[in-house]
Structure 1
Amino acid sequence: MAKVRIVHTTEYTYRNPVGLLRHKLMIRPDESHDLRLHGATLKVEPAPSDIYWKHDVFDNSICFLHWPEALRTRRLGIVSELDLTHHPEGPPLPIYSLDSAAEQFPYAYAAHELPDLARFTELQMPDSDRKIEAWARRVVSSVDSKETLRVLDAMTHVIKEEFRYVARHEEGTQTAAETLALGSGTCRDFAVLMMEALRCFGLATRFVTGYLYDSISGSVRGGGSTHAWCSVYLPGAGWVEYDPTNGLIAGENLIRVGVTREAEQAVPISGGFVGNADDPTALHVDVSVHAVPRHGGGATLISH
Structure 2
Amino acid sequence: MTVFSVNHVTTYAYAEPVRLGEHRMMLRPRDSNDQRLLEASLAIDPPPKTLRWIHDVFDNCVAVATFSGETRELRVENRITLEHTPFEGDEFLLDDSARFYPFAYDAEETPDLARSIERHSPDPSGELDRWVRHFLHPGRPTETGELLMTLNYAIKEGFYYERRVEKGTQSALETLARRRGSCRDFATLMMEAARALGFAARFVSGYLYVPDCDGENRHLGGGSTHAWLQIYLPGSGWVEFDPTNGIVGNRDLIRVAVAREARQAIPLYGSYFADNATASTMDVEVRVRQSPSCELPSAPHRNL
Q: Taking structure 2 as the reference length, what is the TM-score of the superposition?
A: 0.92
> Do the aligned residues in 2 keep the contact of 1:90 with 1:252 (CA within 8 Å)?
no
Matches within 5 A, 1:94-243: 94=91, 96-141=92-137, 146-215=142-211, 218-243=217-242
> Do the aligned residues in 2 keep the contact of 1:206 with 1:230 (CA within 8 Å)?
yes
**Residues 1:16 and 2:12 aligned together:** no
Structure 1 residue 215, shift from structure 2 partner: 3.3
> Do the aligned residues in 1 keep the contact of 2:54 with 2:61 (CA within 8 Å)?
yes
Structure 1 residue 139, shift from structure 2 partner: 2.4
Whole-angstrom distance in 2 between the partners of 1:277 and 1:172:
25
Count of residue pairs the alignment pairs up: 292
Distance verdict in 2 for CA 1:104–1:297, change over 3 Å: same
Whole-angstrom distance in 1 between the partners of 2:196 and 2:276:
40
> Over aligned residues, Cα RMSD in angstroms?
1.7
Partner in structure 2 of residue 274 of structure 1? 273
> Do the aligned residues in 1 keep the contact of 2:210 with 2:222 (CA within 8 Å)?
no
Distance verdict in 2 for CA 1:150–1:195, change over 3 Å: same
Partner in structure 1 of residue 59 of structure 2? 59
SS at match of 1:27: strand
Structure 1 residue runs without a partner (length 5+): 300-304
Whole-angstrom distance in 1 between the partners of 2:290 and 2:171:
33
Whole-angstrom distance in 2 between the partners of 1:21 and 1:133:
42
Partner in structure 1 of residue 300 of structure 2? none
Whole-angstrom distance in 2 between the partners of 1:181 and 1:52:
42
Matches within 5 A, 1:244-283: 244-275=243-274, 278-283=277-282
Whole-angstrom distance in 1 between the partners of 2:243 and 2:137:
18
Whole-angstrom distance in 2 between the partners of 1:238 and 1:200:
19
Structure 1 residue 278, shift from structure 2 partner: 3.6
Partner in structure 2 of residue 79 of structure 1? 77
The residue type paired with residue 13 of structure 1 is A
Whole-angstrom distance in 1 between the partners of 2:4 and 2:51:
26
Whole-angstrom distance in 2 between the partners of 1:225 and 1:30:
19
Whole-angstrom distance in 2 between the partners of 1:54 and 1:44:
17
SS at match of 2:28: coil
SS at match of 1:26: strand
Distance verdict in 2 for CA 1:90–1:199, change over 3 Å: farther
Distance verdict in 2 for CA 1:170–1:38, change over 3 Å: same
Whole-angstrom distance in 1 between the partners of 2:57 and 2:31:
17
Q: Give per-residue Cα distances to partners, 1:162-189, cap 9 Å, x unaligned.
A: 0000111001000000001001000000
Q: Taking structure 1 as the reference length, what is the TM-score of the superposition?
A: 0.92
Distance verdict in 2 for CA 1:131–1:174, change over 3 Å: same
Whole-angstrom distance in 1 between the partners of 2:251 and 2:103:
25
The residue type paired with residue 170 of structure 1 is E
> Do the aligned residues in 2 keep the contact of 1:90 with 1:251 (CA within 8 Å)?
no
Whole-angstrom distance in 2 between the partners of 1:187 and 1:161:
13
Whole-angstrom distance in 2 between the partners of 1:277 and 1:54:
33
Structure 1 residue 202, shift from structure 2 partner: 1.1
Whole-angstrom distance in 1 between the partners of 2:178 and 2:243:
16
Partner in structure 1 of residue 290 of structure 2? 291
